[in-house]
Amino acid sequence: MIWVAVINYVAWFIFIFISMVWILTLLQNRENVEISSKRRRKLPSVSVLIPAYNEERNIKNTIKSIFSIDYPKHLLEIIVVNDGSTDKTKKIITQMKKQYKLKIINNHTNMGKAHSLNRALKVARGELVACMDADSIVESAIIRKMIPYLDDPKVASVTPSLKVWKTRNFLERMQHAEYILNVFLRKMLSFIDAIHVTPGVFSIYRKNVLLDIGGFDEGNLTEDMEIALKIHDAGYMIENNMHANSYTLCPRNWKDLSKQRIRWYRGALNNYSKYRHMLFNKRYGNLGMFFLPANVLAVGAIIIVFFTMALNYMGAAATSLWRGHLVGWDIMLLLGIFDIEAFTATLFSTPFLLGILGLIVGAYVLYTSFSLAEGGVKSHKPTYILYLLIFPLVMMVFWILAFIHEVAGIKKKW
């Protein structure tokens, strides 16, 4: 069908076009990728906000990591919000307060991450605030690497390089590749002022800007994306240092990954709707005129391509089953009616060749990401090849499930 072919062409064009934009952006800004060498004469005070819900396994390492940061301790404030935990989180942070200078806020019930951040924001004394997930750690130089970008008064937030902490199985290694790719993409987005997510693992903000724009949206599934769009909406910029390393735990199994990604993608769909006034709006520069529209088109293409692929494969499967039934499942007869010309035509068709081109471009972008973020691909190379082949299809399924959840009005869960 012609319309199916057109949709496939459009989908591949979007992917290849966006990939080429990132490559050209890198070539244009290669000299600006490295760490800023500027050092502030006067260091600002920083409040680190750590919302924690049932994090008894991780909260101790997270707090120790924060207190290991190379930064004057009199300028560093740590606020931990126990968000109604039902495990030993409260007990652990209470014990750690005896050893470390902590401020503790207790929510009597689980109110959500955004609510906890807003509570901590109201009592924070720092000029800057850093939001820190309770299952994460950071390198000791992270603050010193990030704050020079805030010398520009137009910059309201700086994002770090977010990587996977401890890869123990095949799924976690594939996510590691995805996170490294995102390290590269976030830096490229900073060059065109289009960062649309400030990760929850140590993004730094100007406190006064957060207060002025109303803080975090407490009803949002992805508050880190919503706050980034809100910052852009208020006329500020978001920067990135791809060598300021933070690390987080990622889902260990497919069930947890599915839960996480459906939440992320439902949140993205909600935020695209909430900030639809930014689409094709010159006021928001490359974010409004290029990146957000491209993302929305990509999501639409994913949904349409998925259903067209499903229909095509179902039709092909039905035809094969019918042929098998007609010849009594005789293998030799089935081979005799195999259409080699149709197979060859498919193999060398434009959509197939576009797929090969897309795979090559994707491999180059991923290799470049590893080179910039980690000095090259040091191990697990076969896993990363499989990532290019498998993970995009898996993410496509999660986008479809998120779309179905939204259309069906299924209750949103953190």
Residue-level pLDDT at 376: 86
The answer to whether 159 and 203 have CB atoms below 8 angstroms apart is yes
Query: Distance between the two ends of the chain, CA-based, in angstroms?
Result: 41
Please state, in angstroms and rounded to a whole number, the distance separating the CA atoms of residues 378 and 163: 15
**Residues 6+ positions from 259 with CB-CB distance below 8 Å:** 251, 413
Please state, in angstroms and rounded to a whole number, the distance separating the CA atoms of residues 320 and 258: 32
For 391, the 3-state DSSP assignment is helix
User: Could you tell me the residue ranges of all domains in the chain?
Assistant: 2-26+288-408, 40-280
Residue with tokens 């390393």: 245
For the record, the structure tokens of 1 come out as 């069908």
**Residues 6+ positions from 325 with CB-CB distance below 8 Å:** none
For 321, the 3-state DSSP assignment is helix
Residue-level pLDDT at 117: 98
Mean pLDDT of 122-148: 97
For 8-39, the pLDDT digits (tens) are: 677 777 778 888 898 999 999 988 876 555 56
Please state, in angstroms and rounded to a whole number, the distance separating the CA atoms of residues 202 and 62: 11
Per CATH, domain 40-280 is 1.20.1370.20: no
- pLDDT-derived band at 328, boundaries 50, 70, 90: low
- 104, amino acid identity: I
For 356-406, the pLDDT digits (tens) are: 787 888 899 999 999 999 988 877 788 898 999 899 889 989 999 999 999
Residue-level pLDDT at 71: 97
Number of Cβ within 10 Å of residue 273's Cβ equals 10
Mean pLDDT of 176-202: 96
To the nearest whole percent, how much of the chain has pLDDT over 70?
Answer: 84
For 293-324, the pLDDT digits (tens) are: 998 888 887 777 667 666 666 666 676 666 66
- pLDDT-derived band at 54, boundaries 50, 70, 90: very high
For 218, the 3-state DSSP assignment is coil
Mean pLDDT of 236-261: 96
Please state, in angstroms and rounded to a whole number, the distance separating the CA atoms of residues 103 and 77: 8
Residue-level pLDDT at 330: 60
Is the per-residue pLDDT at 239 higher than 90?
A: yes
Residue-level pLDDT at 61: 97
- pLDDT-derived band at 1, boundaries 50, 70, 90: low
What beta strand segments (E) does 295-371 contain? none
